[in-house]
């Protein structure tokens, strides 16, 4: 049984989401504000956080950043519109994925299951993957850079592992969306772009001029060897 923290200020939406998620067998904690969310999370860390971006007081972006400071918990943000800067800003604040209102409960359930499945332990053939001074231990779910452990979210870890498993090979955004997020061809490429940016700040010496995670214009990304 997994615990889901639902942060949503609209009472009826909150209640219906609680009903739907409980119906799917999750344990639900629901709160109506960012302050309450940070408080609730510090008392009882959830397995997944469902975070509305438009909140009174501390908004969803800041709430996400606050949670990210202490945890790598998967965060799905709930946005009003998918074509605004909200999506990119939310991803940059640390969200793993997003859904747009009005979302279909089934779709949300599928996204939650995909995130929960995204365990650190990826079934790998190699014990240790490495490039430059970065070392990935798939079995242990650990990333080290120059010997120090790097804190990655599960999504970042999966993304990095996928790139490290295919050194020198160009991986399209569609491929990465499918492998890491479980999306099909029409998944939102911005998920990949923002996560790659975040990953660079963790494993690259100079994130603005990456040496390892390279953008191949019009094609996708590759790990330079």
Partner 1 sequence: MNRERRTRPGLRARVTVTFAVGALALSGVMAGITYLTARAGFLSERQAEFRRQAYVNASLVQNALRVPGTEVNQLLESVDTLPGSRSVLNTNGQWFATSISVGRSQIPAAERELVLSGTAASQTFTIAGTPEVVVGVPLPGVHAAYFEVFSLEEIERTLQTLALTLAIAAGVTTLAGAAVGQWAAGRALRPLRGVSDAAAAIAEGDLGTRVDAGDDADLSRLASSFNRMADHLQERIEREARFTSDVSHELRSPLTTLSASLSVLETQRDQLRPAGRRALDLLSADLSRFTRMVSDLLEISRFDAGSAELSLDDVDASELVRHAVVAAARPHGSDPFRAPAVPVVIEPAATDMRVRIDKRRFERIVANLVDNARQYGGGVRRVVVDAPAGAHGPGAFMRVAVEDDGPGIAPDERDHLFERFYRGHHAGRRGAGEGTGLGLALVAEHARLHGGSVAVEDAPGGGARFVIDLPVEPVAGSAGGDGPPEGTTSRVVG
Q: Which stretch binds partner 1 (CB under 8 A): 8-16, 39-47, 68-76, 150-158?
A: 8-16
- Judged by beta carbon, residue 140 or residue 219, the one nearer partner 1 is 219
Among 41, 61, 181, 212, binds partner 1 (CB under 8 A): 61
Q: Is 98 in the site for partner 1 (CB under 8 A)?
A: no
User: What residues are paired with 220 via a beta bridge?
Assistant: 172, 216
Q: Which stretch binds partner 1 (CB under 8 A): 112-120, 136-144, 161-169, 181-189?
A: 181-189
Q: Which stretch binds partner 1 (CB under 8 A): 6-14, 40-48, 115-123, 149-157?
A: 6-14
Residue 50: both structure tokens together: 């469902």
Q: Is 103 in the site for partner 1 (CB under 8 A)?
A: yes
Which residues does 6 contact at the CB level (< 8 Å), separation at least 6? 14, 17, 18, 21, 28, 29, 30, 31, 50
Q: Is 182 in the site for partner 1 (CB under 8 A)?
A: no
Q: Is 192 in the site for partner 1 (CB under 8 A)?
A: yes
**CA separation for the pair 221, 113 (Å, rounded):** 26
Residue 109: both structure tokens together: 């359930």
Q: Is 224 in the site for partner 1 (CB under 8 A)?
A: no
- Judged by beta carbon, residue 105 or residue 114, the one nearer partner 1 is 105
**CA separation for the pair 192, 181 (Å, rounded):** 9
**CA separation for the pair 143, 146 (Å, rounded):** 10
Altogether, the residues listed in the chain come to a count of 225
DSSP state of 73: -
Q: Is 12 in the site for partner 1 (CB under 8 A)?
A: yes
State residue 143 phi and psi, 5-degree precision. -120, 130
Residue 137: both structure tokens together: 């231990």
Answer for the pair 62, 53: CB distance below 8 angstroms, yes or no.
Answer: no
Instruction: Look at strands 220-223 and 171-172 and give their pairing.
Output: antiparallel
Among 44, 56, 65, 146, binds partner 1 (CB under 8 A): 65
* Binding-residue pattern over the window 105 to 144 for partner 1, x denoting contact by CB under 8 A: xx--x-----------------------------------
DSSP state of 136: E
The residues that touch partner 1, with contacts defined as CB under 8 A, are 10, 12-13, 15-17, 19-20, 23, 59, 61-62, 65, 80-81, 83, 85-86, 88-89, 92-93, 101-106, 109, 173, 184-186, 188-190, 192-194, 196-197, 215, 217-219, 221
């Amino acid at each position: 049984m997994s615990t889901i923290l639902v942060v949503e200020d609209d009472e009826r939406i909150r209640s219906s989401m609680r009903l739907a998620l409980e119906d799917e067998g999750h344990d639900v904690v629901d709160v109506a504000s960012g302050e309450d969310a940070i408080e609730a999370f510090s008392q009882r860390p959830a397995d997944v956080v469902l975070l509305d971006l438009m909140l009174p007081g501390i908004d969803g972006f800041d709430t996400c950043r606050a949670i990210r400071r202490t945890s790598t918990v998967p965060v799905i943000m709930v946005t009003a519109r998918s074509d605004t800067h909200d999506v990119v800003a939310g991803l940059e604040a640390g969200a793993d994925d997003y859904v747009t209102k009005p979302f279909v409960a089934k779709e949300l359930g599928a996204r939650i299951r995909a995130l929960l499945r995204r365990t650190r332990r990826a079934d790998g053939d190699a014990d240790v993957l490495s490039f430059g001074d970065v070392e990935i231990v798939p079995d242990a779910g650990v990333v080290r850079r120059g010997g120090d452990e790097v804190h990655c979210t599960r999504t970042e870890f999966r993304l990095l592992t996928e790139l490290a498993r295919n050194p020198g090979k160009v991986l399209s955004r569609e491929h990465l969306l499918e492998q890491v997020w479980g999306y099909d061809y029409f998944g939102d490429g911005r998920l990949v772009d923002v996560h790659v940016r975040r990953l660079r700040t963790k494993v690259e010496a100079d994130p603005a001029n990456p040496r390892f995670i390279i953008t191949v214009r019009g094609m996708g990304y590759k790990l330079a060897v």
